Structure 1
Amino acid sequence: MITTERLFLREMTTKDFTDLCLILQDDKVMTAYEGAFNDTEVSDWLAKQQRNYRDHGIGLWAVILKENGRFIGQCGLTWQEVEGEHLLEVGYLFNADYWHQGFATEAAIACKKYAFKRLGADKVFSIIRDTNRASQAVALRNQMTPIKTIIKHYRQIDMPHTVYCVEKGGQ
């Protein structure tokens, strides 16, 4: 689907379940979600992405390292509702073994470009928990700027999130 210098992004399949578990069941990776997912939550997550592919033609895609074919993360585009508005979001979650190597930034930039060039989007957003400094840094490297703070309620917790945005002309 999307290719970069070191990566390619493709739709996830049920065969990716084990690799997805390495991400979604890692407490360190899932800090912003208040902890790791169980098998049912991972299965539901995967099913949601597959529905997104079918219904919207987009979703979080598997990020595959070209050099060895490893599934190292997920990155893609999803529709998020924020204060009654539907926003096209670039989202990303990576296996902790592949953090701090520029993969999230490389994939996020590619998704932003895909949104502008292929989908004709005028703006792209990332919605990031206020404590998630690493993801905030990726958004900034993706030329996004913070535009507002919202509260998301997840797992019985109110979580402040910063909404980042980049406009097509500002890329």
Structure 2
Amino acid sequence: MDNILETNRLVFRKLCYDDMDNLKKTLQDEVAMYAYAHAFSDEEVEAWLQRQLARYDEDGFGLWALIRKHDGNFIGQCGLTIQEIDGRKLLEIGYLLQRAYWHQGYAIEAAKAVKEYAFTKLHAPWVFSIIRDNNAASIKVAERNGMIKTGVIVKQYYHMDMCHFVYCAENPYIHKR
């Protein structure tokens, strides 16, 4: 399968059906999914994968598999999605890693690479991260990725109102003036 991006330690590629068991390691882990307030069922994991595959066709991007170079392990996913907030379509950097790979710098390494991809390959004027207010680790990743908090929104998910922070970074190649 073709690689989309590479960093010092990671390879990014499109997700595929062969990744289903690896996706379940994160999406069905209650601790890893605390920002979603529940672990996913098998059907929800399959729907998640279907959404990514559809995004590749419709948008040309989505969340990509993160593969660790030195051993070929699938460690999670990171990429770009379109999110609608207050009637605006925003390009969002998203990431979800298996717990075994937390606190090793993989999330920030991946998020920085995806931000650079959005700015240099897609020429996006801005990128965003929409992060649940209780997700301190993802907030730290966004801040280390040069993003600043620009707003607060409430999203309804599973009939619950959930506060989210909106982080943003401007494309320095466009906004130099």
State which of 109, 117, 127 in structure 2 corresponds to 1:124: 127
Q: 1:37 Cα shift?
A: 0.1
> Is 2:94 aligned against 1:96?
no
Q: 1:77 Cα shift?
A: 0.3
SS in 2 for 1:35: coil
Q: What residue in structure 2 maps to residue 24 of structure 1?
A: 27
Distance 2:30 2:10 in 1: 25
Q: 1:35 Cα shift?
A: 1.1
Deviations 1:72-101 (A, max 9, x none): 010000000000000000000000000000
SS in 2 for 1:55: helix
Residue type of the partner of 1:153?
Q
Distance 1:39 1:70 in 2: 22
Q: What residue in structure 2 maps to residue 86 of structure 1?
A: 89
Q: What residue in structure 2 maps to residue 141 of structure 1?
A: 144
Aligned residue-pair number: 171
SS in 1 for 2:15: coil
Residue type of the partner of 2:148?
T
Q: 1:40 Cα shift?
A: 0.2
Q: 1:51 Cα shift?
A: 0.1
State which of 11, 14, 37 in structure 2 corresponds to 1:34: 37
SS in 2 for 1:10: strand
| Structure 2 portions without partners, runs of 5+ | none
Q: Percent identity?
A: 51
> TM-score, with normalisation over the residues of structure 1?
0.99
Deviating runs (4+, > 2 A) in structure 1?
none
Distance 1:67 1:51 in 2: 30
> Is 2:8 aligned against 1:5?
yes
SS in 2 for 1:78: strand
Residue type of the partner of 1:126?
S
SS in 1 for 2:50: helix
Residue type of the partner of 2:44?
E
CA RMSD of aligned residues (A): 1.0
Q: 1:153 Cα shift?
A: 0.1
Residue type of the partner of 2:34?
T
Distance 2:144 2:11 in 1: 19
Distance 2:153 2:44 in 1: 24
Residue type of the partner of 1:41?
E
